[in-house]
Amino acid sequence: MGSGSKIMGVLGGLAILAIGAASVWYFVLQSPYRRALPRGATEVNETTISATGTTIVYLKARFPSDLFAGYCREMKLTPLEYEKIRGEAMVYAKWESERPLGWWRPSANLVGAYWRQDDDVLVMAKHEDGFLYVKVVKP
């Protein structure tokens, strides 16, 4: 085996390692809420806070408002009907952050918000001032 073949073998191994690392980053380390962002989303911030058995994910990203409907379809969100929020989720169905996050500044207004509530998760999203705001609560 010549040195050219060895180099190609090493480069091939490195390429496989890089693809594996990228896959772990994309599929394991990123939340599904971040993965669903449209191409070209910028100024992406995401924080997960876990306390007292509850996990809350905050996500903010800049993209044009005309892409918000597609994001909601991807995440299976429907227009928010506040009166249908049930159980413990009522405590979390607001936009405030329990801890100050310098980049988390949505208005308290729920008009135009979308949501989904399953047995184990509450997902809320809205688009305002050019930004998507997503709050996910897993009580």
CB 77 within 8 A of CB 115: yes
124: enclosing H helix or E strand: strand 122-128
Q: Is the pLDDT of residue 38 over 60?
A: yes
Phi, psi of 5 (to 5 degrees): -65, -40
Q: What does the block give as tokens for 104? A: 């988390």
| Every domain of the chain and the residues it spans | 31-138
What's the pLDDT tens digit per position in 55-107? 999 999 999 999 999 999 999 999 988 777 777 666 777 777 667 788 988 98
Phi, psi of 14 (to 5 degrees): -65, -40
